[in-house]
Amino acid sequence: MKETTLRSSHSSKDLYDRNYYFGVTSGYPPEGYAAAHPDWTAWLSLFQTLRPQGRLLDIGCAFGYLPSEARNRGYQAFGCDVSSYALRQEPVFRPFLFQTNAHQLPLPSGSFDVVTLFDVLEHLSDPVSCLTEAVRLLRPEGILVGATPDPLFFSRKEETHFYERPPSFWIDRLSRFGMEVRFRFSVEPYNFQFLAARRGSQITDKLRIFQHDYFSEEPDITGNMDDLVLLPRHGWGELKNGTREMVANPATFYLLNPTPEPRRLTLRLNIVVSPHFSTLRIRFNSYVVKDLHLFSEKQVYEVDIDNLLVPPGGHHLFFELFPGGPKVYVGRTEAMDLPATREELCLGLPFDLYQRYQLALEILKILKPKSVLDVGGVIGDRDGHLAVPADFFGQVEETSAISSTDLRQCDHPEHQPAPAHRQPWPDMSYEAVVSLDVLEHLPADLRRAFLEELDRVSARWIILGGPFASPEVEAAEESLQSLFQNQTFLHEHEEQGLPSLEEVNRFYSAKGRSIYRLPSGFLPRWRQMQAWTQLYFSFSDYWITRTFNSLYNEHCYGSDQREPAYRQMLLIAKSPLASNDENALKNLQSSSQERLESWVSDSRFPATVESAIQRLDTLRRALSDAQFLANARQEGIELMQKDMEETSILRLILRRWRR
């Protein structure tokens, strides 16, 4: 599905003039690019290890320093750039530099051994075309090297960045071109770098040296990883004897699932600490998977993390110290992954997410669209996504293309950041467009444009779900807000005001659309479950949270599609449904009224409650031990002070120390 990109109206010639290279419209320092360009020494050493000689092309070469240094090492090197200003700055380089557009390079196929794309892709309106050209120019045993910022970690706004995408996007696109890809993050957490060669070529065996440290035959991770990729990202020292020191708090490992299905991860970690008291927390995105309470009497810990469900796309393992103190080293790390199912992953999601997405899935199973777009489709929070729309909608056999957009970035190859009211797709790009719990978060003056945009992009159907203004819904939200002040979504609802269901109906009826309505989220239970969720989320435990979620979603979802409902799900059809489809839609409304007793009678419920009690007991004992150690150390300090006060010279030292 081809997308369009919103970009500046300035031409490339205007954008990459002197102002750009002297930091007025870029992140370069005021002294200019010539004084601050990268040191290419290590990169050239890598090239010579893999392809000791041959032809090199640097796409987006700026002033031409990389091809110049490559020539000094014996390469027949060239550089190209769109900026005539940049190409004029070093006249001595001019004979091997040329001006061109990166989307269409005037060079014969298979003519280069090394092609580089350093900090270029984010500047292009269509970087995939540039990647296509770069791969075309490679010889069979050639290598493609590049770097581009990951927007999830790159906070600076750049006027000339039109296409920032996270790592999973670039890896996916290169893989589609038949490339074997190695990648890493260097110096800065946002600095994503990749090294690629044609799949099946002899040189792919050599790519393994491209690790977190420049050259290394020693891997960070061992074990049987069939699909997942796990590697250090930020906050780790040099790899020494299979061990890295944690040098930033938090430090992160990057975890990539490049497949369309969830994977199940098992990890074994060897952790060595200096003798201090602290807590080392390991998080998978926003889920806590391990709290390791560190004591001065123990320095070596074996950590097991089992049955971690990893959705498609990129994720993080965060290592955080509370309150800090000890040195932490992560040593031998073994990993193994196995297949998991979409249904299993989705069942463990928070009940409110599961409610709306599962009902949308059941509607799509009736419609059988070939393509689906989810507007506002980041299923997660700022620390990472919990699932992707395809985990739900991919269960519709007929659906072959599933994309999502949101104001937020998401590390998944089929996601694109975009405002809800300005979608980057041509008219009628998707058979079905889904948008769940988005309308109420938009300012009132943008809601009509948003509804118009959904209609424009959809070819046949729109599924629009969310809470609408009513005394019952507003009262439920107010009561929750008085109990839980940290609920951001409730604050936004209050600020923007809940939308009017009647106005939405009038808008689409005026266009001649057929509108079908289903209730979603039985309101008394929705309010009760929001309170329960606050309780079991407070345990900060991945497995407790997922089990509670699964119990509710399995036992209670089936009776949640009834009035009074927190949410209304609208199916807006550009032509009326067939009578059998309309009947199937009506059958999605709940007729039964299961009670929560069926949930608590499940055998997993008491086991999970016992796990929660054990976790609370562990926290209590850790706090008690911390208090004991603090008291013991205070007693030691007081004894030392007493001894010092009994000696005249030491008394003077003590006074000085107190000052």
> What span, in angstroms and rounded, lies between the C-alpha atoms of 97 and 63?
9
pLDDT tens digits along 230-276:
999 999 999 888 899 999 999 999 999 999 999 999 999 999 999 88
In sign, the C-alpha dihedral spanning 455, 459, 461, 467 is negative
Closest Cα to residue 285, out of 237, 260, 253, 248? 253
Of 592 and 478, the structure prediction assigns the larger pLDDT to: 478
Give every CB contact of residue 77 below 8 A, 6+ residues apart in sequence.
55, 56, 57, 58, 66, 67, 68, 70, 71, 96
Residue 493: the pLDDT is 84
Count, in order, helices (H) and strands (E) of the chain. Answer: 21, 26
d(CA 125, CA 122): 8
Residue with tokens 């606050």, as numbered in its chain: 534
Task: Give the pLDDT of residue 618.
Answer: 64
Say if strands 263-273 and 300-310 run parallel, antiparallel, or are unpaired.
antiparallel
Among the ranges given (40-54, 404-418, 500-514, 524-538), the one the predictor scored with the smallest mean pLDDT = 524-538
* pLDDT exceeds 50 at position 21: yes
Element (H, E) at 246: none
* Mean local confidence (pLDDT), 171-185: 97
Q: Which residues of 400-429 are buried (b: 16+ CB within 10 A; e: fewer)?
A: eebbbbbebbbbbbbbbbbbbbebbbeeeb
> Average pLDDT in the 392-421 region?
96
Q: Token digits for 150? A: 């990951």
The pLDDT of residue 642 is above 70: no
Q: In this model, does residue 599 exceed pLDDT 80?
A: no
**What tokens appear for 41 in the block?**
């020494």
Predicted confidence (pLDDT) at residue 368 exceeds the cutoff of 70: yes
pLDDT at residue number 9 = 35
Q: Which residues pair with 422 in a beta bridge?
A: none
For residue 164, name the pLDDT band (cuts at 50, 70, 90): very high
pLDDT of residue 8: 37
Q: Which two tokens stand for residue 362?
A: 């059941």
Q: Quick one: pLDDT band at residue 227, thresholds 50, 70, 90?
A: very high
Is the pLDDT assigned to residue 405 strictly greater than 60? yes
- C-alpha span between 182 and 209 (Å, rounded): 9
Tokens of 510: 């005026």
Which is more confident, 193 or 544? 193
pLDDT at 566: 96
Which pLDDT score is estimated for 611? 66
* Confidence class for position 10, pLDDT limits 50, 70, 90: very low
Residue pair 360/465 in contact (Cβ under 8 Å)? The answer is: yes
Half-sphere exposure of 594 (CA within 13 A, CB side): 17
Confidence check: pLDDT of 457 > 70? yes
Residue type, 202: Q
The answer to whether residue 224 scores a pLDDT higher than 50 is yes
Contact at 8 Å (CB) between 350 and 549?
yes
Asked whether 451 and 507 are in contact (CB, 8 A), the reply is yes
Stated pTM of the model: 0.89
Across the range 345-355, mean pLDDT stands at: 95
Q: Report the pLDDT averaged over residues 173-188.
A: 95
What SS3 class is residue 88? coil
**If you average pLDDT over residues 623-634, what whole number do you get?**
53
Per-residue confidence band for 64, with pLDDT thresholds at 50, 70 and 90 = very high
The per-residue pLDDT for 7 is 39
What is residue 652's predicted lDDT score, i.e. its pLDDT? 57
Cis peptide before 564 (omega within 30 of 0): yes
Compute the distance between CA of residue 245 and CA of residue 384 in angstroms, rounded to an integer: 24
Q: What is the CA radius of gyration of the chain?
A: 29
Q: What is the distance between the alpha carbons of residues 558 and 141, in angstroms, rounded to a whole number?
A: 56
Burial class (CB in 10 A: 0-12, 13-18, 19+), 644: middle
Per-residue pLDDT at 565 exceeds 90: yes
- Predicted confidence at residue 47, as pLDDT, reads 96
On the question of pLDDT at 492 being above 90, the answer is no
Judge whether 228 and 265 are in contact, CB under 8 Å. Answer: yes
Residue for token pair 């060897």: 270
**Cβ(321)–Cβ(278) below 8 Å:** yes
Side-chain half-sphere exposure of 279, counting CA atoms within 13 A: 15
Residue in 187, 225, 180, 224 with CA at minimum distance from that of residue 204: 180
Q: What is the pLDDT of residue 3?
A: 47
Per-residue b/e over 464-474, b at no fewer than 16 CB within 10 Å?
bbbbbebeebb
Cα–Cα dist 369/371, whole Å: 6
> pLDDT tens across 98-142, in order?
999 999 999 999 999 999 999 999 999 999 999 999 999 999 999
What mean pLDDT is predicted for residues 87-103? Answer: 96
Checking if the pLDDT of 2 tops 60, the result is: no
| 3-class SS of residue 447 | helix
pLDDT at residue 631, rounded to an integer: 53
Residue 37's SS3 state is coil
User: Rounded to an integer, what distance in angstroms lies between the CA atom of residue 496 and that of residue 53?
Assistant: 62
DSSP tag of 58: E
Instruction: Give 584: exposed, middle or buried? Use CB within 10 Å, 0-12, 13-18, 19+.
Output: middle
The helix (run of H) or strand (run of E) holding residue 274 is: none
Query: From start to end of 249-343, where are the E strands?
Result: 251-257, 263-273, 278-284, 287-294, 300-310, 313-322, 328-339
Task: Kindly report the backbone phi and psi dihedral angles of residue 206, in degrees, each rounded to the nearest multiple of 5, phi listed first.
Answer: -85, -10
User: d(Cα 258, Cα 260) in Å, to the nearest integer?
Assistant: 7
- What pLDDT is stored for residue 6 in this prediction? 37
Mean pLDDT, the chain, whole residue set: 89
> Dihedrals φ, ψ of 237, to 5°?
-80, -175
Distance from C-alpha of 169 to C-alpha of 175, rounded to nearest angstrom: 10
Q: For the residues 599-622, what does the mean pLDDT come to?
A: 64
Task: Kindly state the DSSP code that residue 235 receives in the 8-state scheme.
Answer: S
* Residue 627 pLDDT greater than 80, yes or no: no
